Chains A and B, each alone.
Chain A
Amino acid sequence: MLITGIKSKPVYAPLAADVGGRYHVLVGHGVGAEQLLRLVDELRASGGSSRASRRMLYATDLSAAPNAMATVREADVAHVRVFENIPALLEDFRTLLETSRMGTRLYVAGPEAFMGLVMRIANEFNLNRDEIRAEECGSRARRVHCIHCRAATESVTTNIVECSGCRRWLVVRDHYSRRLAAYMGVMVDAEMPGERPAVKDVFV
């Protein structure tokens, strides 16, 4: 079974301003604060984006710099909201997209598992790849979708993991679903019950 080298594994790039956009929505988590603030500076410098065109949503966690929340709150944007957890941010993000207009660009910064959840909502609004830019930073832990019981196992850092739903041992593949915002987990010892590779930290 192919584990790595799969095309669906997302590729990220450092955030850069898209001056073709009329409105800019910046969404970040944890250490992603730094990337968002850098982007605000770049948008300001480009001259093509007014303060009124920029909105920012940020969820903090322990990985962020101690002063991240305070700095984000002072960003030069029309609207900034800071959240204590990701679900609250996602709910607000959905409300924001419901009233957003064509010409919007989305910028996301943070761990991949977080960005996947944001982009899954963006997909529902038919925001396409040429309207979204994403920069990965922070933990590389994965959301894993069990193909047997369909449960999601969060924050997986190891090559194999016990499914949170059905307790099967799953091998984590690079096969990524944007719709599910998760990597595929497949039972590792289906053919030889009990024969499993050693557990190793690989997504850190």
Chain B
Amino acid sequence: MSHANTILVRVSAIEPLTPLIKRFALSPAAGGFLPAFSGGSHIIVVMRGATRVHRNPYSLLSPPNLLDSYQIGVRRMEVSRGGSMFMHDHVRIGSELEITHPVNLFNLDKLARKHILIAGGIGITPFMAQMEDLRAGSVPYELHYSVRGPEHSAFRDRLLERHGARIRIYHDSANDFIDVEGLLGNQPLGTHVYVCGPAGMIEKVVGTARIAGWSGSHIHWEQFSAPPVGDAFDVFLAKSGVSVRVPPDQSLLEAIEAAGVDAPYLCRGGVCGECRTKVLEVDGVLVHNDHFLSSEEKESGRAIMPCVSRAQCTKLVLDL
């Protein structure tokens, strides 16, 4: 398992930031400091509920130079499998949680000559820490932050206080939207664009950058897909010799873990590739929900990302 060593933390502060987002501060239960990280990193929070264990990825939003606690922003998802509701409804100051060591899958490019950050809603969180790194450097940067309305702009005051005119906030409620074409159509060489937010926003930004002729090495995005629900199915784990039932509201990875089998993972959101698993046999279709495998790999039916993907079949055999 990739995270044999989790860190026990205690919730030291909880603050509502918007009607839907709460900020949690997590301090090491044993005292001292948490591991160093770079802006854009995330952790997995392990939540042990009454009936099941949730493991959700959250970006670290606290400044990377403050290691006595980590801060995360959790958006309450009404239609979800329960992780964010657990955080909102059951976690109190003093609650203990386990977290993994930080991993960064959304790095700033160190050689960039300009950074353009584009955030939608809760997608602001990785940028909060990244902008602390940028603020300390000399490379120009700007943040374009789109939210539903004024009451939803988490961190507004902090952002304006720390970054002033580098921030532009857009309110859907005022029909004020980011002009992505205008923004990406006329930038100096060496500019990098980073986007984190809803799937539609990411597609829009990546697509617009491509049309404007930007090469892939200058386009960065992060999206943690929550594992989609689906029909129940059965999986046989060949190496472990275990048969597992995957219920509709549990991911394949969660079902494998619940059966006591260690499977690799890092992001739990279909982006990093760590949980890629060989499919030995399938008599139906694989439902690929990840952003990692190429379309050829998806069509081949020989690999699956258990953190977000499922199957519609009567028989699935994995090399685990």
Which residues of A are at the interface with B, using a C-beta cutoff of 8 A?
A: 20-23, 97, 100-105, 125-131
Q: Mark B181-218, 1 if CB is under 8 A from A, else 0.
A: 00010111111000000000000000000101111111
Pick 8 A–B contacts, CB within 8 A, sort by A.
Answer: A20-B210, A21-B213, A100-B189, A102-B184, A102-B212, A125-B189, A127-B190, A128-B217
What residues of B have a CB within 8 angstroms of the CB of A128 in the complex?
215, 217-218
Smallest CB–CB gap between B226 and chain A, Å? Answer: 32
CA distance A23 to B109 in the complex (A): 23
CA distance A125 to B112 in the complex (A): 8
Residue of A nearest to B191 (CB): A102
Q: Please state if B188 and A102 are interface contacts (CB–CB under 8 Å).
A: yes
Contact of A130 among B111, B112, B189, B216 (CB under 8 A): B216
Residue of A nearest to B190 (CB): A126
Residue of B nearest to A128 (CB): B217
CA distance A131 to B218 in the complex (A): 10
Q: Please state if B213 and A23 are interface contacts (CB–CB under 8 Å).
A: yes
CA distance A138 to B15 in the complex (A): 67
Smallest CB–CB gap between A133 and chain B, Å? Answer: 11
Are A102 and B217 CB-contacts (below 8 A) given A125-B189, A126-B112, A126-B113? Answer: no
Q: Please state if B189 and A127 are interface contacts (CB–CB under 8 Å).
A: yes
Of residues 111 through 151 on chain B, the ones whose CB sits less than 8 Å from some CB of chain A are 111-113
Determine the interface band of chain B, counting residues with CB < 8 A from chain A: 10 to 19
What residues of A have a CB within 8 angstroms of the CB of B188 in the complex?
100-102
Are A102 and B214 CB-contacts (below 8 A) given A126-B189, A126-B190? Answer: yes
CA distance A129 to B216 in the complex (A): 10
Smallest CB–CB gap between B185 and chain A, Å? Answer: 8
CA distance A149 to B65 in the complex (A): 40
Which residues of B are at the interface with A, using a C-beta cutoff of 8 A?
A: 109, 111-113, 184, 186-191, 210, 212-218
Residue of B nearest to A102 (CB): B187
CA distance A105 to B212 in the complex (A): 12
What residues of B have a CB within 8 angstroms of the CB of A105 in the complex?
213, 215
Are A104 and B113 CB-contacts (below 8 A) given A127-B189, A127-B190? Answer: no
Q: Please state if A22 and B210 are interface contacts (CB–CB under 8 Å).
A: no
What residues of B have a CB within 8 angstroms of the CB of A97 in the complex?
189
CA distance A102 to B184 in the complex (A): 8
CA distance A148 to B260 in the complex (A): 59
CA distance A105 to B213 in the complex (A): 9
Q: Please state if A104 and B213 are interface contacts (CB–CB under 8 Å).
A: yes
CA distance A23 to B113 in the complex (A): 19
CA distance A190 to B195 in the complex (A): 54
Residue of A nearest to B189 (CB): A125
CA distance A129 to B212 in the complex (A): 18
What residues of A have a CB within 8 angstroms of the CB of B214 in the complex?
102-103
Smallest CB–CB gap between B72 and chain A, Å? Answer: 32
What residues of B have a CB within 8 angstroms of the CB of A23 in the complex?
213
* Residue in B109, B184, B190, B191 whose Cβ sees the most chain A Cβ within 10 Å: B190
Contact of A102 among B111, B189, B216 (CB under 8 A): B189
Are A102 and B113 CB-contacts (below 8 A) given A126-B189, A126-B190? Answer: no
Q: Please state if B113 and A125 are interface contacts (CB–CB under 8 Å).
A: yes
Q: Please state if B113 and A20 are interface contacts (CB–CB under 8 Å).
A: no
Are A102 and B210 CB-contacts (below 8 A) given A125-B113, A125-B190? Answer: no
What residues of B have a CB within 8 angstroms of the CB of A100 in the complex?
188-189
CA distance A101 to B218 in the complex (A): 13
Residue of B nearest to A127 (CB): B189
Q: Please state if B189 and A129 are interface contacts (CB–CB under 8 Å).
A: no
CA distance A102 to B214 in the complex (A): 6
Q: Please state if B190 and A103 are interface contacts (CB–CB under 8 Å).
A: no
What residues of B have a CB within 8 angstroms of the CB of A127 in the complex?
189-190
What residues of B have a CB within 8 angstroms of the CB of A130 in the complex?
215-217
Among all A-B residue pairs, the 9 with the closest Cβ atoms: A103-B213, A126-B190, A22-B213, A128-B217, A130-B215, A125-B189, A102-B187, A131-B215, A21-B213
